[in-house]
Structure 1
Amino acid sequence: MINPSVHGWIDKFFAEQQPLSRHFYVEELSFYTATRNTGFIFGHIIDFDTEIALDNQDWLPEEISKIGMLNTLFQMYRLTKQSNDYGDFINESVAFYNLLTPKGFNPLQKMLAGSSPSSKLEKIIHDRVQTNEDLFSKNFSHVITNALLFIDILAFKQYLDKGSLPEKYFNRIEEIVISVVSLSLKTKTGISIHDELLQKLFESSVRYNKFSGKSFATLDDLDLNYLQNDLEKYYVIDLAGISLWSDEKVENEERYFLYKLGEKLAIPDSFVLESIVFVNSFISKHKAEIPYFNYSNPVKNFYDQTTDSVVVLIKRNKNRFLKEITESKELMQLLAKSTHKELDKDEKKKIKNQLLDICKTVPSLTIFLLPGGSLLLPILIKFIPKLLPSAFNENEERT
């Protein structure tokens, strides 16, 4: 199984996807529709457009984003080049991202000078899927993904087609996207509870502009002439649609806004209608899983999401983690005692310090050593008894 947090995951991804089908997308709309079905367009990935199905049950949200990013870039390469040459794809991807860094200022290139192309791409994708907020802010604000990653895909197409990128392409596309989203939010007939969270999602995803930039009164004030490719236009319409959605419907005024936007972009009404139907279906089906439609208490939301992530990390490192714990007689005694009796202050401190020492020896668990990581220790301690032999848990049965 692929672990997108371990070096070599890109090579393993392509090894597991062999043999690759010779069926290539010919129309951009077909590619876009398949990509939209995965949820990548909306920043909430529910599936992957791959030949062989992938099981993401034990992946962290960031890891799902990494696979989604890699595969969508590759599908764009297949669409543009009509080729399955994943070696060339990796080289082209690295060359593309190198263009985004000013000459003479590329610390990543120096750091990875001796690395293989796939290793370089792993590092690049890891950096690109990040939002501009830290781990704890993302969880508390319900934002756990970069919602504008598809702009990278659009830019990659430009590079593959022309061998270069138009000047400030990212800035211009991102500016148009956030302007349309901002205007669509203002157009809504009623403000729903998710609007603030949705705006927060885009604020944390922008790289080149500020979300609260220019203010536009109507669509007529927006200059959309920069959008020349249908994929760019489809993307803008879909993001406007998801920002207008509320209460499982789109009001007449909001529907008019979308059709007006489609007219201004010279996109057929049939696509606008399909977009409205798809967005409604997608959100209605996955609303409970989408962070920016989650209205629960933010502290509970943080705890639930973090617990899931911690459990995944512990399961992956179960054998090594248990070996370190069982080698410490004092720690085992304290953990056993904690299942049926309240520990005093000194005992709790000993458990904390010994667990942190163990985490230093297991690379994947160094999250507990980061600033604020100690807040996660209670989750770790609570889960430990489930990993230990049944004899250890007999203490719980006697409580």
Structure 2
Amino acid sequence: MNPSSSGWINKFGHLVKKESIHFPNFDSLYQELKRNGFIYGIHLDICSFIDVEHELTEDEIAKINLLTALYFTFTLEKGETDFDLFVNTVFNYYQSLDVAKISFLNKILSGKQTESQLEKLLDSRIYLGGTAFNRAFGNSLTNSLLYVDILIFQIYLQGSPNIMRHAQLLEYVTINIAYHALNSKETKKADDKLIQLLDSSLTYVDPDKANFDGTYRDLLKYNFSKYAKDYFLDMACLTIWEDKSLDYTESEYIFGLGSDLEKSKNEVESVLKYTTEFFQKNSSKVAYLNDKNLAFQFYEGMLKNVSKLILRNSKRLKKELTESKELVSLLSKSAAKELNPEEKKKVQKQLLDIFKTIPSLAIFMLPGGAVLLPIFIKLIPKLLPSAFDDNRIEEN
């Protein structure tokens, strides 16, 4: 399955129908999403029943986990596995939240099928801003509050009125818990990055214009579900984790919040321990915890995204390359020794001619795109055989 290509939602539906082991309850679903990082807004892994051919990027993992969480919330809440009904329900749900505004151009490109439109919609939930060009260079922002969508969807499926107000309330309480958890710390520098990320991920509420009666702690008395309370506690523990210790002020805050959320001291301690172990294990994979300089981050992001473009088009590229014996010869030569200026110019011209035939590689044609050619040449050995359509469904 390739979540960066059309048809991936249909492929997901095909895979989930074949999956005999489903989540027996919301607790098991929540814990799986937590292990994969989705609850923390960190996208590390997906459920094992989903077969992917290529290594997934962070945004692709986020899309798959969002759809997985929505689907199993639907099946658990409604006791229904009809995938077409699920797709229509999710699309209507996002429409009711006024986030299903798909541009006229995208409607033309994706057709009238709800699945195609939902693919565009989920893209909009992952990418909060920026052009396709910026994304290709690693400057996209992945929504770190996606689990709020799942909590709201659960309320929607229960037939609750005015879900927009509930969505605003969930985001408002979440961001306030993060702010207050940060303010309970003696050192705040590294956590500021997390707060900025959460703040930029808000979709339904503007904290400066929110109109709720009472403080956020008063709002905790609202009839939130157990899973919303679990999420609030996880977000608080996430915020105070960074310095890997719990001082008196932090302890006072986190256990006081736990009490407000009707959690026992043992439950709070268990969540703190889990959070610590999770981030000790995965801290190197969490972007906002890494203090890499901007130039390195830029190159790293560029390498990841160009690699994805190359590998996802490997079959087409192999076909084009095999038809250009001179180019293959020069590329092979470049792996052993430096090409002369004339040869480099010839390689560049022939590669750009090939990229013109593959729309998704149009980034190479943009001004400055030629600087990516060394990365392409580096990736040539990885051009292994792959299915032309990663989302094709094999019929038995």
TM-score for the superposition, normalised by structure 2 = 0.81
Matched, 1:61 2:61: no
> Please, which moves more after superposition, 73-82 or 361-370?
361-370
Secondary structure of 2:128's aligned partner: coil
User: Does 2:16 match 1:17?
Assistant: yes
Q: Deviations over 1:115-135 (max 9, x none)?
A: 322222222112211133457
In the alignment, the residues of structure 1 paired with residue 349 and residue 161 of structure 2 have an alpha-carbon distance, to the nearest angstrom, of: 53
After TM superposition, give the deviation of residue 304 of structure 1 in Å.
2.8
Task: Name 1:236's counterpart in structure 2.
Answer: 232
Q: Residue 117 and residue 99 in structure 1: after superposition, are their counterparts in 2 closer, same or farther (change >3 A)?
A: same
Is 1:252 the counterpart of 2:252 in the alignment?
no
Alpha-carbon distance in structure 1 between the residues aligned to 2:160 and 2:349: 54
Change in CA separation of 1:201 and 1:369 when aligned onto 2, cut-off 3 Å: farther
Where has structure 1 moved over 6 Å in runs of 4 or more? 135-143, 211-214, 219-222
1:275 corresponds to: 271
Tell me, yes or no, if the aligned pair for 1:259 and 1:269 is still in contact at 8 Å.
yes
Say whether residues 1:130 and 2:127 are aligned partners. yes
- 2:13–2:83: 8 Å Cα contact kept in structure 1? yes
Task: Return closer, same or farther for 1:53/1:353 CA change in 2, 3 Å cut-off.
Answer: same
Which shifted more, 196-205 or 64-73?
196-205
Indicate if the aligned counterparts of 1:142 and 1:291 stay in contact, CA closer than 8 A.
Answer: no
Using a 3 Å threshold, how does the CA distance of structure 1 residues 355 and 140 change in structure 2: closer, same or farther?
Answer: closer
User: For residues 102 and 178 of structure 1, do their structure 2 counterparts lie closer, same or farther at Cα, with a shift above 3 Å needed?
Assistant: closer
**Rounded Cα–Cα distance in structure 2 between residues aligned with 1:324 and 1:43:** 39
Q: 2:316 aligns with which of 314, 320, 327?
A: 320
Deviations 1:321-363 (A, max 9, x none): 133245446655664665533543x765654454333223223
Aligned runs of 1:63-82 on 2, under 5 Å? 63-82=60-79
> Residues 113-163 of structure 1, C-alpha deviation per residue, up to 9 Å, x if partnerless?
953222222221122111334578779998753211111111111111116
- Amino acid in structure 1 at the alignment position of 2:89: E
Equivalent residue for 1:3?
2
Maintained 8 Å contact 1:334/1:347: yes
Moved more, 271-280 or 292-301: 292-301
Pair 1:293-2:289 in alignment: yes
Q: Does 2:144 match 1:147? A: yes
Distance 1:106 1:317 in 2: 27
> Residues 317 and 61 of structure 1: is their aligned pair in 2 closer, same or farther, counting only changes over 3 Å?
same
Partners in 2 of 1:141 and 1:313 — Cα distance? Answer: 12
Q: 1:176 matched to which residue of 2? A: 173
Greater alpha carbon shift after TM alignment, 83-92 vs 280-289: 83-92
Question: Which of these residues, 257, 265, 274, is aligned with residue 261 of structure 1?
Answer: 257
AA of the residue aligned to 1:166: I
Instruction: Sort the Cα spacing of 1:140 and 1:180 in 2 relative to 1 into closer, same or farther, 3 A.
Output: farther
CA contact (8 A) 2:37 2:44 kept: yes
**Separation in structure 1 between the aligned mates of residue 222 and residue 345 of structure 2, nearest angstrom:** 60
Please show how residues 37-52 of structure 1 align to structure 2 within 5 Å: 37-49=35-47, 52=49
Using the alignment, how far apart are the partners of 1:17 and 1:198 within structure 2? 34
Structural RMSD (CA):
3.5
How much does 1:282 deviate?
A: 0.7
Deviation at 1:185, TM superposition (A): 1.5
Aligned residues of 1:158 and 1:165 also touching (Cα < 8 A): no
Amino acid across the alignment from 1:4: P
Q: 1-side partners of 2:144 and 2:281: how far apart? A: 19
- Residue pair 1:337, 1:343 contacting (<8 A) in 2 also: no
**Structure 1: gaps (5+ residues):** 389-399
Alignment check: 8 A CA contact 1:143 1:201 kept: no
Aligned length: 378
User: Whole-Å Cα distance in 1 between the matches of residues 311 and 129 of structure 2?
Assistant: 29
* Alpha-carbon distance in structure 1 between the residues aligned to 2:123 and 2:99: 20
Distance 2:103 2:314 in 1: 35
Q: How far apart are the structure 2 equivalents of 1:146 and 1:14?
A: 24
- The alignment status of 1:85 with 2:82, answered yes or no, reads yes
1:323 and 1:152 mapped to 2: Cα distance?
42
Cα–Cα, structure 1 residues 143 and 267, in superposed 2: closer, same or farther, change >3 Å? Answer: farther
Cα contact 2:130–2:139 (8 A) shared by 1: no
Aligned-partner SS, 1:68: helix
CA-CA distance at 1:275 after TM superposition: 1.5
